[in-house]
Amino acid sequence: MKIAVLMHFDAPSREKLEKALPGCEIVYAFDRSLSYLDREEFDREKYAKELLDADAAVGNPPPDLLPSMKKLGLLQLFSAGTEPYSLPGVLPEGAKLANTSGAFGKAISEHMLAAMLTLSKKLHLYRDDMREGLWLDRGSVTSPEGMTVLSVGMGDIGSRFLKLTKLLGARTVGIRKHSLTAPDWVDEVHLAEDLDSLLPSADVVALSVPGNAETRGLFDERRLRLMKKGAILLNVGRGSAVDSLALCRVLSEGYLAGAALDVTDPEPLPPEHPLWKCENALITPHVSGFYHLRETYDNIVAIAIENLVRFRDGKPLLTPVDPATGYRETQVWPKA
């Protein structure tokens, strides 16, 4: 079995991989001297030939390389998000797809909590005032205690975020599509059909849904205006779930108190996009996950190695992706 490693694997990770899969041919497309925080692409000229006969690949390669990988049986992504790989015709026929669902939950849910509290306590406005040397009282703030927090999406990220807010005294409400089961820190679970009726009572609405045809434009102007006046919106799933220009309007009017966006539409957000100038938007450049907590990187390496072993042994994968939904097969958000 030949494995192409198309993401940074540092020395300890290589050792674990080689120990778990003895006898496999392993090609590393990144120099081990690079930091795992580097975002650069691998040298495709140098490695394209090596990929032709790989049985498995780890990483998120340029999609146009995939058709030439005729032997590919498994593409193990380093991301939780699965597009464009889950789109029809992108993967070679017969290849399985796995993501790293679960690896990012801690990092992203903490980022969400930080962003929610920043907006609640107006720290973004005080930061702006610092630039002007301005000692100015920005008025009342809100507390997580007693807030209603609605998580749209109840995977690892959404569930963990509700746990953090519950610890700080919030009332937690989750929306999921396939069942009404939830961890015990979730006060209420609803199906997606209840979304519109739940929006008016939520102080914080947090989106952690994947990008697909169904979630595109989920928060259009109508839904943004169904939210409670003064509420906060968080989006960490895919930028396409929120209509950026409608959000600008709703924020500029002061209808919503704030929106923290770690994902945008488009992405990267172009320098001239009006969202940048929205005082109550808090934009981060898709950084809440990645490997910004070392633990995330370690999780990803562990999931990748486990899936490679299972693939070699012909066993079910730990985090298989259903190409039809872009979700883990075990956590499906089915069509309404």
Q: Is 113 in the site for a copy of itself (CB under 8 A)?
A: yes
- 300 closest CA partner among 73, 11, 9: 9
Total of residues contacting a copy of itself (CB under 8 A): 58
Position 42: which residue type? Answer: F
CA atoms lying within 13 Å on the CB side of residue 258:
23
Q: Is 287 in the site for a copy of itself (CB under 8 A)?
A: yes
Nearer to a copy of itself, 23 or 135 (CB): 135
CA distance 282 to 53: 45
CA distance 203 to 256: 10
Q: Is 268 in the site for a copy of itself (CB under 8 A)?
A: yes
With contacts defined by CB under 8 A, name the span among 6-14, 132-140, 202-210, 310-318 that binds a copy of itself. Answer: 132-140
| Candidate list 99, 101, 118, 319; residue touching a copy of itself; CB under 8 A | 118
> Alpha-carbon torsion 303, 308, 309, 314, what sign?
positive
Nearer to a copy of itself, 118 or 151 (CB): 118
Q: From the CB of residue 238, how many other CB atoms can be counted at a distance below 10 Å?
A: 24
Q: Is 236 in the site for a copy of itself (CB under 8 A)?
A: no
Q: Is 228 in the site for a copy of itself (CB under 8 A)?
A: no
Return all residues near 316 (Cβ < 8 A) that are at least 6 apart: 310
Least CB distance to a copy of itself at residue 174 (A): 20
| Candidate list 44, 71, 96, 273; residue touching a copy of itself; CB under 8 A | 273
Q: Is 245 in the site for a copy of itself (CB under 8 A)?
A: no
Nearer to a copy of itself, 19 or 131 (CB): 131
CA distance 208 to 188: 17
Q: Is 133 in the site for a copy of itself (CB under 8 A)?
A: yes
Q: From the CB of residue 309, how many other CB atoms can be counted at a distance below 10 Å?
A: 14
Least CB distance to a copy of itself at residue 298 (A): 13
Least CB distance to a copy of itself at residue 282 (A): 7
CA distance 107 to 128: 26
Least CB distance to a copy of itself at residue 68 (A): 30
> Alpha-carbon torsion 310, 311, 317, 319, what sign?
positive
Q: Is 143 in the site for a copy of itself (CB under 8 A)?
A: yes
Residue keyed to tokens 């679970």: 189
CA distance 29 to 65: 14
Q: Is 126 in the site for a copy of itself (CB under 8 A)?
A: yes
| Candidate list 8, 111, 160, 176; residue touching a copy of itself; CB under 8 A | 111
Q: At what angle do helices 294-313 and 105-120 cross, to 10 degrees?
A: 150
Which residues sit at the interface with a copy of itself, rule CB under 8 A? 37, 39, 106-107, 110-111, 113-115, 117-118, 120-121, 123-124, 126-145, 164, 167-168, 268-273, 276, 281-285, 287-288, 290-295
